[in-house]
Amino acid sequence: MAVEVPLLILGGGCAGLSLASRLASFGTRIPRTLVLESRGTYGNDRTWCFWSNPSLGVDHLIAHEWRELRVRGAGTEVILDCSVLPYQMLMGDRFYADSVARIAQNSRIELLTDAGVLGEPQYEGERWHVSTRLGAFRAVRVIDTRPCSVLVAGRALLWQSFCGAEVSCANSVFDPSRAILMDFDDCSGEAVKFRYVLPTSPTTALIESTVFDREPRSAAELAPSLSAAIGQQVGSAEHRVIRREHGVLPMGLMRRAGDFDGSYVNAGVAAGAARASTGYAFQRIQRWAALCAASIATGGPIIGHPREPGWRSLMDRIFLHVLRAHPERAPQVFTQLFAKAASTRVTRFLSDRGSLVDQAAVIAALPTGLFLSCLPELISKGFRRRRPGLAA
């Protein structure tokens, strides 16, 4: 016998838990809701970083912040002053524990773990039918926040793949007041490669190897570059790996996941939550979760992520096209951007809070000739995609 509820949230990751915890704050005004998560338990498997925004209400979860970031490449080091908008780190275990606790405070919403979905949900008799490892469920409305089950190379302009390790050293090795946002490796091949170092104490740091490529990369593929990054940062110091993490983010989805008749909405990174040009998604997910929860609590529709403003979508697409066509120029592009534009303008732009003046400053800081040289091909591809019969 299927369990029936008004609302199902598929996936209890960042997007699913963010929405569920926001819904929980509305007390009895929300419909009976179930969150179905495939994993049996939550662990410290993710780290989210972003520039401070107190209005989102997650400051109590911040594990560390930096007021100085460094970008290294093309024989240059640029220092970003983040004293106005500190760069902050939120650990997965804190986020999961906080979300689960908030959900538990409202009896009208329940999180079910080890409830992996089997097959695609089916619509029949004005209800969505979902089969899981815990049994069958039916719902009037569904919000699907699950990640892509299969990562297809052509589904995004680029894929941001990263593999990280939290390292603990026997001696003081790191400066916890400074983080490395990008330390570029050799980008002369077909991918953009850089290291990302987040020190949280003199002896501990999260070190990541990151690749922007046309195809997603597995943890095994990134393991050698991660080992090299760790060696470069700790040198001969005795150290051990506390935990590891791996992820793949789409950068510029070629086609957004479609919604049905309003009773089934896709959300999360697989549905366009991440900023195309950066992969930053956490704050965008929080803003969406707050809007969607408020709509549901007041009897409104379930909503997906707002579409990117046309100007920002165009800027991101041009930027990604340049990186895709000329990965060897990435160190120059990023160091020039951060060197020529004021730090506060760049960080506001990257956080989707940039003014028109900020946007103009970012554009002016980029190598104009390189970007203009890629415009004809980008325009041509856009035209071909709009012709009938041609897929995006």
Q: Are strands 239-253 and 204-213 parallel, antiparallel or unpaired?
A: unpaired
**Do residue 284 and residue 365 come from a single domain?**
no
Query: What confidence tens digit (pLDDT) does each residue in 118-135 have?
Result: 999 999 999 999 999 999
Amino acid 389: pLDDT: 37
Residue 76 lies in a domain: no
User: Would residue 71 count as lying in a domain?
Assistant: no
CA separation for the pair 361, 324 (Å, rounded): 23
Angle, vertex CA 164, rays to CA 159 and CA 167, nearest 5: 170
Phi-psi region for residue 166, left (φ > 0), alpha (ψ -120 to 50) or beta? beta
Judged by DSSP in three states, 122 sits in strand
pLDDT at 285: 96
The model's pLDDT over 297-316, given as tens digits with 9 standing for 90+, comes to: 999 999 999 888 877 888 88
- Residue pLDDT, tens place only, 373-387: 776 666 655 544 444
H/E stretch holding 356? helix 356-365
Residue owning tokens 């986020």: 95
Average pLDDT over residues 65-83: 95
Residue range 359-363: mean pLDDT, rounded: 89
Could you tell me which of 342, 76, 320, 334 has the C-alpha nearest to residue 181?
334
Report yes or no on 104 lying in a domain: yes
Q: What is the pLDDT of residue 146?
A: 94
Query: Residue 362 above 60 pLDDT?
Result: yes
* DSSP H helix total and E strand total for the chain: 9, 17
pLDDT in tens, 213-261: 999 999 999 999 999 999 999 999 999 999 999 999 999 886 555 555 7
Number of structural domains in the chain: 3
pLDDT digits 0-9 by tens, 130-155: 999 999 999 999 999 998 776 776 78
In the predicted model, is pLDDT for residue 391 greater than 50?
no
Q: Which of 33, 43, 36, 40 is nearest to 12 (CA)?
A: 36
My answer on whether 208 and 158 are in the same domain is: yes
Residue 82 confidence (pLDDT) above 50: yes
Residue whose entry in the numeric block shows the structure tokens 């090299």: 228
The verdict on 176 and 244 lying in the same domain is yes
CB burial string 361-375: b at 16+ within 10 A, e below: bbeebbbeeebeebe
Whether residue 268 is found in the same domain as residue 128: yes
Q: Which helix (H) or strand (E) holds 380?
A: helix 368-386
| Containing structural domain, residue 192 | 153-252
Instruction: Tell me if 328 is assigned to some domain.
Output: yes
Q: What is the pLDDT of residue 2?
A: 86
Residue 376, classified by CB atoms within 10 Å of its CB into exposed (0-12), middle (13-18) or buried (19+), is exposed
User: pLDDT averaged over the chain?
Assistant: 90
